[in-house]
């Protein structure tokens, strides 16, 4: 026995404390609303504790297990805290600490019941998501996974009670359940391939036992595909992403921050755990890696193009989440491809880059959603075209959002730069490693990666420019005010996290490596020499290198003379004018570039990605109307035809419905007899 | 063809209990009084308990003892008591009403049994349990109960047919693979219990609405 309790106990204790604090808080806040801030702050600290307990297995590379007796004989909860789970718990704790602190300010003006409900929903969601990371058998994994899905449904519902919100949350639940069915099917296939004869017991559903599977290559591909689609439905993999752009705007800001920052990552965790740990690296096919890579690349491009076109703040962020999940999948696919073609170093690097990006995305996307929440609260508007000029009104939160904007655009020295740089470096390892087809797929992915990053910068230039710069575009924007202290603190915490992840990449990569190397059974060589913490050299001794700290220094040195030039001209050649005035001398707000005008070139260059309806009035139209609507092409091309097909089938099936119970029973009886006969005598 | 009907050897006790179960299924099909129907259902529960016990002893599968215990508690005690109370409170005494007369049903039942045995032959060859010869019996009992659901008019008889099907399913599972996993078994047991409760509530509702239990009142006949 050691003096120190095992890490999994600490994690479990941290998670349970969070759950009980949240539920107790929900009980108390209903009667004493003034205590809400206290409880949110407490929960935020407890989230930090979860993050620390997740850091522990990474630092010590420990792998602890625990079997808790369940309610039913033979079905106990297998839990396991290995470095990979620890990494995702760190992500969960870190991102939710900021979000919970922010919620203290965000829910300030809500009714007491709403506050209490939000406390309960958030903590239940966080607890069971944490449980997903710990689960080590199919039963507990699916239990936690399903409760997480249902909690996310309720989180979305905590927005306004409108038809749109209800539809969005229902669609989310529908796709989540469809996905769960595929996941369970995949688990079942794995479990039946594990033992020679059909002696299936509950013990064979633990992850340990599932690892012992011996799938044929075709079966392994099928199981991998099922996992991709199943987890993809929750991660927003195109074409199963349609719930995402509806759900995120419907939920209140802290909820969308958690959904995008944490829940999408839970799906990524599930996919990585299932592919690398359960199906097992030896069984994975290189072609599946290519599939994942191409899917990721397509998602990245599709997501960011649609993001640029959105004028609604949160819809824009939601599509950008699709882009980022695409980048993570791209890295994962790349990792599989490298590892399966005998390049373990490059594969490990790609997987590290993917996880690094997942962590970064959790921080900056949560920060962006919180920022969008402050914008919406301050102006009472959700459309970017009715914001504008907010930076002067909200300098602190604006600066924090700017950090996130720089991160997501991949601009040094932020964390987005580091992970995208790592992803790009790992794609460039293809230059002399792989066969022609594989190499071209990887390089195609690299090109899309660069394109998507550049487009992301464009999209977020639009987000920040139209929202925060220029002049106020509506009365709401003119009356905007800075958000509360709690909100700024929560956002500040996330921004600090983002900056840390950006400035000390070697430290972070070292920890992520500990989560990845058990999966790939490879570790990257550690860089020798001084200043290793400041200089990122993922493939020493010769490979590519960068240093965000150095770049920051360079940026400061280059900016100072410009600043001096600008400020030094005071009184001489300086002319003050209205921002974004387009040369007009008077304040003419409508002449500012709009959100749509930012998007117009993209719409023009990439028409295949959109389903557009335009109506241009003719010159002699007495009542001219200009109309343009852009839609996700998956609705008219895939989902609506599918719905129509279902309705048609249902209407056809209606004919056999006589309404007599005996007839129905005879239907089942004859079907049973026929099926059995076919089975017996072919 | 005839060769495939021959069942593999089984222990005499298990075989006897299996044939008694099949006989009880036929008895349910031919019974005309409601109360006797419930009594036969309880008897079927006892047979099921005994055969589970004997398979458990013959095969040395300890978890089957639990199954036997559950069967005794649910199917011999709880459900028949519930059903008797239901009959009493609803004042059901009379005859079972049939859609198809009893002799014809019995003849159809005979064909069903032959069909089941022919169907079960290859499964019996594959299974490696001590009582694999009885899979056909389970299948036959299942289809006979189904037949009862089709040919009876009153809602209560349909519930008994449904419960009989569940019994047969359980019997087949025991004999083919020494029972389903414990979770499945428990789940099914609870389903059946809840189902009976729901049916009970449903009966009261039907009587409130139609003052009769004839299923024709529940038919969705469009009004002209």
pLDDT at A224: 94
What are the residues facing A77 on neighbouring strands?
A68
Structure tokens at B209: 């609405």
Is the pLDDT reported for residue A452 higher than 90?
Answer: yes
pLDDT at A195: 57
How far apart (Å, rounded) are the C-alpha atoms in residues A275 and A268? 11
Chain A closest-CA separation from residue B70 CA (Å): 14
CB pairs under 8 A between A and B: 50
pLDDT at B130: 66
When the pLDDT of each residue in chain A is averaged and rounded to a whole number, the result is: 88
Residues A82 and A193 in one domain: no
Average the pLDDT over A22-44 and give the result: 91
CA contacts within 13 A on the Cβ side of A520: 29
Residue B4 belongs to some domain of the structure: no
* Cβ contact, residue pair B183, A202, below 8 Å: yes
User: How does residue A51 score in pLDDT terms, banded at 50, 70 and 90?
Assistant: very high
pLDDT tens digits for range B13-51: 888 888 899 999 999 888 878 888 889 999 999 999 998
Chain A positions in Cβ-Cβ contact with residue B165 (cut-off 8 Å)? none
Residue B147 contacts A where some CB pair is shorter than 8 Å: yes
Is the pLDDT reported for residue A335 higher than 80?
Answer: yes
* Cβ contact, residue pair A676, B119, below 8 Å: yes
Residue A383 belongs to some domain of the structure: yes
* Best of A661, A673, A677 to mutate (most B CBs within 10 Å, chain B): A661
Please tell me the least confidently modeled range out of A77-81, A174-178, A587-591, A638-642. A587-591
Residues A346 and A402 in one domain: yes
Is the pLDDT reported for residue A133 higher than 90?
Answer: yes
Is the pLDDT reported for residue A675 higher than 80?
Answer: yes
Q: Which of residues 36-55 of B touch A (CB under 8 A)?
A: none
Residue where one domain finishes, among candidates A107, A136, A165 = A136
Residues A518 and A661 in one domain: no
Q: What angle do CA A136, A137, A138 make, to 5 degrees?
A: 135
Residue A680 contacts B where some CB pair is shorter than 8 Å: yes
* Best of A203, A659, A665, A668 to mutate (most B CBs within 10 Å, chain B): A665
Report the number of distinct structural domains present in chain A: 4
How crowded is residue A119: how many other Cβ atoms within 10 Å of its Cβ? Answer: 27
Residue A529 contacts B where some CB pair is shorter than 8 Å: no
CB-based burial label for B162 (10 Å; 0-12, 13-18, 19+): middle
List, in order, residues 6 or more apart from A642 with CB less than 8 Å away: none
* Cβ contact, residue pair A72, B186, below 8 Å: yes
Higher-pLDDT residue of A163 and B9 is A163
* Cβ contact, residue pair A668, B99, below 8 Å: no
Residues A520 and A642 in one domain: no
Higher-pLDDT residue of A528 and A32 is A32
Residues A263 and A359 in one domain: no
Chain A positions in Cβ-Cβ contact with residue B149 (cut-off 8 Å)? 665
Over A649-669, what HEC string results?
HHHHHHHHCCCCHHHHHHHHH
pLDDT at B7: 43
How far apart (Å, rounded) are the C-alpha atoms in residues A286 and A652? 44
Q: Comparing C-alpha atoms, which of A399, A398, A406, A396 is closest to residue A375?
A: A398
Handedness of CA A287, A288, A292, A295 (dihedral sign): positive
How far apart (Å, rounded) are the C-alpha atoms in residues A194 and A213? 4
Is the pLDDT reported for residue B220 higher than 60?
Answer: no
**Which of A278-287, A345-354, B116-125 is most confident?**
A345-354
How far apart (Å, rounded) are the C-alpha atoms in residues B84 and A551? 84
pLDDT tens digits for range A257-315: 999 999 999 999 999 999 999 988 888 888 899 999 999 999 999 999 999 999 999 99
How far apart (Å, rounded) are the C-alpha atoms in residues A551 and A677? 74
Closest residue to A202, CB basis, from B143, B181, B222? B181
pLDDT at B4: 38
List, in order, residues 6 or more apart from A408 with CB less than 8 Å away: A320, A324, A364, A365, A368, A416, A456, A460
Residue B148 contacts A where some CB pair is shorter than 8 Å: no
Higher-pLDDT residue of B143 and A528 is B143
User: How does residue A329 score in pLDDT terms, banded at 50, 70 and 90?
Assistant: very high
Residue B187 belongs to some domain of the structure: yes
* Cβ contact, residue pair B122, A676, below 8 Å: no
* Cβ contact, residue pair B150, A676, below 8 Å: no
- How far from B22 is each of B70, B140, B192, CA to CA, in Å? 21, 7, 21
Residue A584 contacts B where some CB pair is shorter than 8 Å: no
Of all residues in chain A, the one with the smallest CA distance to B127 is A198
Residue where one domain finishes, among candidates A584, A606, A625 = A584
H helix or E strand, kind and range, residue A562: helix A548-568
* Cβ contact, residue pair B146, A669, below 8 Å: yes
Residue B7 belongs to some domain of the structure: no
Q: Comparing C-alpha atoms, which of A337, A262, A242 is closest to residue A642?
A: A242
pLDDT at A489: 94
Residue A200 contacts B where some CB pair is shorter than 8 Å: yes
Residues A43 and A160 in one domain: no
Chain B positions in Cβ-Cβ contact with residue A657 (cut-off 8 Å)? 220
Residues A271 and A380 in one domain: no
Chain A closest-CA separation from residue B219 CA (Å): 5
Chain B closest-CA separation from residue A665 CA (Å): 6
* Best of A71, A204, A676, A681 to mutate (most B CBs within 10 Å, chain B): A676
How far apart (Å, rounded) are the C-alpha atoms in residues A477 and A471? 9
H helix or E strand, kind and range, residue A78: strand A77-81
Residues A311 and A445 in one domain: yes
pLDDT tens digits for range A140-150: 999 999 999 99
pLDDT at A225: 95
List, in order, residues 6 or more apart from A590 with CB less than 8 Å away: none
Structural domain harbouring A500: 303-525+578-584
Residue B59 belongs to some domain of the structure: yes
- How far from A110 is each of A113, A160, A185, A661, CA to CA, in Å? 8, 12, 42, 52
pLDDT at A433: 67
Taking each helix axis from N to C terminus, what angle separates B63-71 and B155-177, rounded to the nearest 10 degrees? 170
**Which of A499-508, A522-531, A540-549 is most confident?**
A499-508
Residue A74 contacts B where some CB pair is shorter than 8 Å: yes
Q: What angle do CA A522, A523, A524 make, to 5 degrees?
A: 130
Average the pLDDT over A1-18 and give the result: 81
Taking each helix axis from N to C terminus, what angle separates B102-126 and A661-681, rounded to the nearest 10 degrees? 30
Chain A positions in Cβ-Cβ contact with residue B151 (cut-off 8 Å)? 662
Is the pLDDT reported for residue B216 higher than 80?
Answer: no
Closest residue to A661, CB basis, from B115, B119, B215? B215
Query: b/e string for A300-309 if b means 16 or more Cβ within 10 A?
Result: bbbbbbbbbb
Residue A474 belongs to some domain of the structure: yes
* Cβ contact, residue pair A202, B182, below 8 Å: yes
Is the pLDDT reported for residue B1 higher than 50?
Answer: no
When the pLDDT of each residue in chain B is averaged and rounded to a whole number, the result is: 78
Please tell me the least confidently modeled range out of A39-53, A204-218, A605-619, A630-644. A204-218
Structure tokens at B88: 């009493």
* Best of B98, B182, B187, B213 to mutate (most A CBs within 10 Å, chain A): B182
Residue B168 belongs to some domain of the structure: yes
Residue A67 contacts B where some CB pair is shorter than 8 Å: no
Residues A501 and A369 in one domain: yes
Residue B5 belongs to some domain of the structure: no
pLDDT at B18: 87
pLDDT tens digits for range A480-494: 989 999 999 999 999
Residue B222 belongs to some domain of the structure: no
* Cβ contact, residue pair B221, A673, below 8 Å: no
Residue A343 DSSP class? -
In percent, how much of chain A has pLDDT > 90? 53
Residue A615 DSSP class? E
In percent, how much of chain B has pLDDT > 90? 8
Structure tokens at A642: 């599918």
Closest residue to A660, CB basis, from B143, B158, B219? B219
Residue A682 contacts B where some CB pair is shorter than 8 Å: no
Average the pLDDT over A446-469 and give the result: 94
pLDDT tens digits for range B173-203: 887 777 666 667 766 777 777 777 777 777 7
**Which of A211-215, A411-415, A527-531 is most confident?**
A411-415
Higher-pLDDT residue of B212 and A464 is A464
**Which of A112-116, A495-499, B72-76 is most confident?**
A495-499
Chain B positions in Cβ-Cβ contact with residue A667 (cut-off 8 Å)? none
Structural domain harbouring B60: 12-215
């602890």: which residue's tokens?
A: A64
pLDDT at B211: 64
Residues A225 and A334 in one domain: no
Residues A193 and A242 in one domain: yes
Please tell me the least confidently modeled range out of A16-30, A628-642, B128-142. B128-142
pLDDT at B134: 81
Residue A659 contacts B where some CB pair is shorter than 8 Å: yes
Q: Are A415 and A268 in contact (CB under 8 A)?
A: no
What are the residues facing A613 on neighbouring strands?
A629
Closest residue to B220, CB basis, from A659, A665, A666? A659
Report the number of distinct structural domains present in chain B: 1
Is the pLDDT reported for residue A74 higher than 70?
Answer: no
pLDDT at A591: 76
Of all residues in chain B, the one with the smallest CA distance to A668 is B146
Residue A188 contacts B where some CB pair is shorter than 8 Å: no
pLDDT at B83: 85
Please tell me the least confidently modeled range out of A50-64, A83-97, B116-130, B180-194. B180-194
Average the pLDDT over A497-511 and give the result: 91
Residues A98 and A168 in one domain: no
DSSP letters, A513-561, are: HHHHHHHHT--PPPPPSTTTTTSB-SSTTTS--B-HHHHHHHHHHHHHH
Is the pLDDT reported for residue A527 higher than 50?
Answer: yes
What are the residues facing A496 on neighbouring strands?
none
Residue B73 belongs to some domain of the structure: yes
């509806």: which residue's tokens?
A: A246
Residue A571 contacts B where some CB pair is shorter than 8 Å: no
Residue B219 contacts A where some CB pair is shorter than 8 Å: yes
Is the pLDDT reported for residue A581 higher than 80?
Answer: no
Average the pLDDT over A251-259 and give the result: 94
Q: Are A261 and A407 in contact (CB under 8 A)?
A: no
């Amino acid at each position: 026995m050691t003096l120190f309790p095992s890490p999994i106990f600490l994690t479990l204790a941290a998670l349970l404390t969070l759950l009980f604090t949240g539920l107790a808080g929900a009980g108390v806040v209903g009667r004493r609303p003034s205590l809400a801030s206290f409880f949110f702050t407490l929960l935020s600290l407890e989230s930090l504790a979860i993050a620390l307990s997740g850091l522990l297995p990474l630092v010590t590379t420990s792998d602890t297990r625990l079997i808790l007796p369940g309610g039913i004989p033979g079905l106990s909860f297998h839990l396991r805290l290995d470095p990979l789970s620890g990494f995702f718990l760190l992500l969960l704790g870190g991102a939710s600490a900021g979000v919970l602190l922010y919620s203290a300010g965000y829910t300030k003006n809500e009714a007491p019941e709403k506050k209490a409900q939000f406390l309960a929903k958030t903590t239940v969601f966080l607890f069971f998501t944490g449980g997903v990371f710990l689960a080590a058998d199919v039963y507990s994994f699916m239990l936690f996974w399903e409760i997480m899905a249902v909690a996310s449904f309720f989180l979305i519902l905590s927005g306004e009670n409108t038809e749109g919100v209800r539809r969005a949350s229902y669609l989310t639940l529908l796709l989540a359940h469809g996905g769960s069915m595929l996941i369970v099917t995949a688990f079942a296939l794995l479990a039946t391939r594990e033992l020679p004869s059909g002696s299936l017991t509950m013990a064979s559903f633990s992850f340990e036992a599932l690892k012992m599977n011996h799938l044929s290559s075709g079966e392994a591909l099928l199981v991998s595909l099922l996992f991709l689609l199943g987890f993809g439905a929750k991660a927003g993999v195109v074409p199963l992403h349609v719930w995402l752009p509806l759900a995120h705007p419907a939920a209140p800001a802290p909820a969308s921050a958690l959904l995008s920052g944490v829940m999408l990552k839970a799906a990524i965790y599930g996919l990585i755990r299932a592919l690398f740990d359960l199906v097992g690296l030896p069984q994975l096919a290189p072609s599946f890696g290519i599939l994942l890579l191409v899917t990721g690349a397509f998602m990245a491009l599709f997501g960011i193009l649609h993001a640029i076109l959105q004028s609604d703040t949160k819809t824009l962020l939601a599509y950008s989440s699709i882009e980022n999940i695409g980048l993570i999948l791209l890295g994962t696919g790349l990792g599989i491809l490298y590892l399966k073609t005998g390049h373990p170093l490059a594969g490990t690097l790609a997987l590290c880059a993917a996880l690094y990006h997942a962590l970064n995305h959790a921080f900056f996307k949560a920060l962006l959603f919180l920022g969008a929440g402050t914008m919406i609260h301050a102006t009472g508007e959700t459309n970017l075209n009715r914001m504008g000029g907010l930076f002067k009104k909200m300098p602190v939160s604006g600066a924090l959002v700017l950090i996130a904007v720089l991160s997501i655009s991949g601009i040094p020295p932020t964390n987005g730069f580091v992970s995208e740089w790592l992803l790009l470096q790992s794609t460039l390892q293809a230059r002399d490693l792989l066969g022609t087809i594989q190499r071209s797929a990887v390089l195609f992915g690299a090109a899309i990666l660069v394109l998507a990053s550049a487009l992301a910068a464009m999209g977020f230039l639009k987000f920040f420019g139209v929202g925060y710069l220029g002049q106020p575009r509506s009365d709401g924007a003119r009356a905007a005010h800075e958000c509360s202290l709690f909100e700024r603190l929560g956002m500040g915490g996330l921004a600090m996290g983002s900056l840390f992840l950006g400035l000390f990449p070697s430290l972070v990569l070292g920890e992520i490596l500990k989560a990845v190397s058990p999966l790939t059974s490879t570790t990257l060589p550690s860089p020798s020499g001084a200043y290793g913490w400041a200089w990122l050299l993922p493939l020493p001794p010769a490979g590519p290198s960068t240093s965000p700290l150095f770049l920051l220094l360079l940026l400061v040195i280059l900016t100072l003379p410009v600043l001096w030039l600008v400020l030094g001209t005071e009184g001489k050649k300086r002319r003050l004018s209205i921002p974004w005035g387009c040369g007009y001398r008077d304040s003419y707000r409508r002449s500012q570039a709009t959100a749509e005008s930012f998007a117009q070139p993209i719409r023009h260059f990439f028409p295949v990605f959109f389903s557009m309806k335009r109506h241009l009035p003719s010159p002699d139209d007495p009542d001219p109307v200009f109309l343009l609507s852009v839609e996700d092409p998956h609705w008219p091309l895939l989902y609506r035809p599918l719905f129509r097909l279902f309705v048609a089938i249902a209407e056809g099936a209606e004919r056999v419905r006589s309404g007599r119970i005996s007839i129905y029973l005879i239907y089942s009886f004859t079907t049973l007899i026929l099926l059995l006969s076919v089975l017996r005598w072919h | 063809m005839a060769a495939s009907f021959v069942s593999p050897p089984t222990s005499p006790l298990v075989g006897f209990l299996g044939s008694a179960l099949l006989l009880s299924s036929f008895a349910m099909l031919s019974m005309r009084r409601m109360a006797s129907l419930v009594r036969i259902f309880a008897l079927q529960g006892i047979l099921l308990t005994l055969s589970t016990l004997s398979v458990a002893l013959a095969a040395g599968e300890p978890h089957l003892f639990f199954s036997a215990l559950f069967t005794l508690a649910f199917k011999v005690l709880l459900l028949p008591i519930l059903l008797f109370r239901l009959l009493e409170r609803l004042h059901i005494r009379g005859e079972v009403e049939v859609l198809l007369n009893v002799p014809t049903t019995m003849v159809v039942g005979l064909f069903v049994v032959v069909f089941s045995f022919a169907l079960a032959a290859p499964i019996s060859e594959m299974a490696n349990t001590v009582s694999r010869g009885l899979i056909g019996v389970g299948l036959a009992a299942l289809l006979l109960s189904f037949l009862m659901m089709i040919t009876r008019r009153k809602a209560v008889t349909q519930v008994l047919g449904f419960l009989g099907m569940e019994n047969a399913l359980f019997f087949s599972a025991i004999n083919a693979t020494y029972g389903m996993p414990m979770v499945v078994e428990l789940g099914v047991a609870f389903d059946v219990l809840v189902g009976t409760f729901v049916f009970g509530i449903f009966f009261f509702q039907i009587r409130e609405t139609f003052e009769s239990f004839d299923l024709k009142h529940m038919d969705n006949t469009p009004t002209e």
